[in-house]
Structure 1
Amino acid sequence: MKIKMFVLYGGKSVEHEVSLRTAFTVLGSIDREKFDVFPIYITQQEGAWCCCGIQERPHATIDELVMRPESVSPSQSMGSVLLRYMSGEGKKVVLPLLHGSNGEDGTVQGLMELLDIPYVGNGVLSAALTLDKAVSKQLLAQAGIRQTDHISFRLEQWSEEREQWLDRLERALGYPCYVKPATLGSSIGISRCEDKDALIRGIEFAFRFDRKLVIEREVAGREIQVAVMGNERPLASLPGEFIHRHRFFDFESKYMDKELVMSIPAELPAGVMERIREYAVQAYSALCCSGLARVDFFLGEDGQLYLNEINALPGFTGTSMYPVMWERTNGTAYSELIEKLIDYAFMRHADKLTVQYAR
């Protein structure tokens, strides 16, 4: 009997568009001889759930992924999808392809835990930790992993003590620096600031997307990425990097630039490649990750490695770093990689079933 695979995508998130791109590639790569595929679209404005049953063949365009909900009420639409499609018998797994808030942050993972359905990727705790840059940096610092200098603060602190925070940022970090929403990815809401006026504009802009920010000192050098996969014994891929002409690798640069070139494996000095892979696994374990994550580093001009961040649901299109790094590392094809991640989901769920809930 085929495994029922429920693919969640879209979502009430500013990264909705990125999720559609990921879902389009994943849905086009799943082996329908092994899986009955149920695409579940979540609207951006209301967070309503939509499902039209089994998808016999992949969509021809990304636009076809967008469905209209029977009800705009998230609770009613979610309940309808859960009862009609996900409550049936048989082996099943959920593949959450939801980037950013309301999907990558532990919320959907918590729902799957309550429903007792295996799901791909990080659990509740690790999903929440990795999405919150401020909290993850604290834990990584405790694990002894070097990071770039940074400061975090909340909207109410900025509103009440604006000049004090500006003075602290200029003294501690200087320019150029980067302003980042604490709980977003895909470089959305990020600004590179070279002076005080730009810093103020960047902070005000970032607060449109989040109520907590992280400000980081710029590290002159290269950005190196590593794909990690696994549960208790995670594996790290060969490191890679994008070769590009942009001073700031923002959303448009990542997703619109047709001249991006992947260098995998990245050309690195002797010994640096293995150190990056070792640190990636160390950071992955420190944040209790499972399933998959992409770990991003800066290799400074001083030769030092600085961990930038961990992305618990990296981009998964055909031109995204994560799947290509595994293909270049050990020949794992895109569709094979998806099935490996599903296997990790089943293994984690089976391990959970061994836990006793009564004395």
Structure 2
Amino acid sequence: MGDLASLSERISVIKLATSLSKTRIGLLFFSKTTFPFESSIFKIGDKGTFTTEEALCKLKKINVSAIFIALHGAFGEDGRIQGLLDWIGIPYTGSGCFACALAMNKIRAKAVVKSFGVRVAEHIIFTQDNWSWDRTDACSSVAKALGFPVVIKPASQGSSVGVTIAKDEKEFLDGIEIAFEWDREVLVEKFIKGKEVTCGIWDCQEGLPPKPLPLTEICPKTSSFFDYTAKYTPGATDEITPARLDETLTRKVQEMAILAHKAISCEMWSRSDFIVDDEGPVWIEINTIPGLTPTSLYPQEAQCAGISYKEMVKAFVEFALRKRIS
């Protein structure tokens, strides 16, 4: 299963607000994540990197009440760390192992969400096993079924890693090779021209159904789509919250985001991405652990709904603690 790299740098004891002042929360995060409470980093050993078995033993000895997960991509967002924490009985923020694993696989997630009546883009799937003998017919198949341009995606990556847009057969072949560097399955989708928006779901209040947050409109300035560079380069994208959509379209996107959240079995929160064309919203994918810096898309939407960053994080922690009780 691999190592949990530099775990000692990613675990903190968090001293929360008064109501949670005696709670010990383990924090798994990337370096740019902001935690809006007084915190003190502690080392769990002299060794900077641990095997999975060593890390799990040390986590148990630390005796944290819950884990706050703010990781992306493989091992962080794909259900594996969630499964490990389930195994050793430590509750955590966010969706469970199954939902995270399903959401991470764009092909399977898309099939499930489509079965709930949500509009998705037409697509073709390629695997490394059949690509070697199928590539001669692939271009004609894609051109006939989808037309160019198309969007090429590794099946199980986040942050738009390995994603390209191909305008012709040559770019298609190049894009497929790039995607196969990241995954054994590749999703090729019909390019949808329209406005890109995202909708967060707030689902951490006990006894209340999930509710949609205001939409954010995404307008990349330096890229043709919301790629890795556009997501993580300051100033590369304009993010407009609330999105410039009429009330009917906004409500439709929010309804679809709730359907996707439920279809994937997400908990606590999620964020679905859409393209809105002349026929309405098209669901693209769902994120079980959206970005968590104060200026990330989900916190922006929460702020627009009147939920401060500090209130948001506190609600997430309380959600995890209720998991332990149940």
- Identify the match of residue 238 of structure 2 among 261, 274, 278: 261
Aligned partner of 1:21 among 28, 32, 40? 32
SS at match of 1:280: helix
Contact kept in structure 1, 2:149 and 2:168, CA below 8 Å: yes
Distance 1:209 1:273 in 2: 34
Give the 5 Å matches for 1:299-338.
Answer: 299-300=276-277, 302-329=278-305, 331-338=306-313
Out of 121, 137, 162, the position equivalent to 1:148 is 121
Question: How far is the alpha carbon of 1:156 from its aligned partner?
Answer: 0.9
Q: Distance in 1 between matches of 2:168 and 2:236?
A: 30
Report what 1:216 is aligned to: 189
Moved more, 129-138 or 235-244: 235-244
The 2-side partners of 1:350 and 1:21 are apart by 31
Q: Is the 8 A contact 2:218 2:238 kept in 1?
A: yes
Cα distance in structure 1, aligned partners of 2:209 and 2:43: 38
Deviation at 1:193, TM superposition (A): 0.6
* Cα gap change, 1:2 to 1:174, in 2 (>3 Å): same
What does the per-residue CA deviation read over 1:269-294, in whole Å, with 9 as the maximum and x for residues that have no partner?
Answer: 23111111111111100110001111
| Superposed displacement of residue 31, structure 1 | 4.4
Map of 1:164-313 to 2, 5 A cutoff? 164-230=137-203, 233-245=209-221, 246-300=223-277, 302-313=278-289
CA contact (8 A) 2:60 2:88 kept: no
Contact 2:249 2:280 in 1 (8 A): no
- Aligned residues of 1:31 and 1:335 also touching (Cα < 8 A): no
1:2 corresponds to 2:19 = no
Q: Letter of the aligned partner of 2:320 in structure 1? A: A
Q: Distance in 2 between matches of 1:192 and 1:325?
A: 28
Which residue in the other structure is 2:43 paired with? 52
Amino acid at match of 1:136: A
Aligned AA (2:26): F
TM-score, normalised by the number of residues in structure 2: 0.87
8 Å Cα contact 1:226/1:294 also seen in 2 = yes
Aligned-partner SS, 1:271: helix
Aligned to 2:99: 126
Offset, 1:80: 5.0
Q: Aligned partner of 2:43: which letter?
A: C
Structure 2 distance, partners of 1:307, 1:113, is: 30
SS of 1:313's equivalent in the other structure is coil
Does structure 2 conserve the Cα–Cα contact (< 8 Å) formed by 1:129 and 1:287? yes
Give 1:139 deviation, angstroms. Answer: 0.4
- Indicate whether 1:105 and 2:82 are aligned: no
When the two chains are superposed, the root-mean-square deviation of aligned CA atoms in Å is 2.0
Q: Could you report, residue by residue, the CA deviation over 1:160-189 in whole angstroms, capped at 9, with x for unpaired residues?
A: 322233322221111111111111111111
Segments ≥4 residues shifted beyond 6 Å: none
Question: Is the Cα–Cα contact under 8 Å of residues 206 and 213 in structure 1 kept in the other structure?
Answer: yes
Q: 1:341 aligns with which of 302, 316, 319?
A: 316
1:339 partner letter: K
Gaps of 5+ in 2: 1-20
Answer whether contact 2:99 2:266 (CA < 8 A) is retained.
Answer: yes
Percent identity of equivalent pairs: 29
Task: Name the SS for the 2:247 alignment partner.
Answer: coil
User: Kindly tell me: are residues 52 and 153 of structure 1, through their superposed partners in 2, closer, same or farther at Cα, counting changes over 3 Å?
Assistant: same
Query: How far apart are the structure 1 equivalents of 2:154 and 2:233?
Result: 22
CA contact (8 A) 2:229 2:236 kept: no
- Alignment correspondent of 1:350: 325
- CA-to-aligned-CA distance 1:71-118 (integer Å, 9 cap, x gap): 655235414522442xx3xx6110112211112111111111112211
> Aligned equivalents of 2:201 and 2:281: distance in 1?
17
Taking structure 1 as the reference length, what is the TM-score of the superposition? 0.79
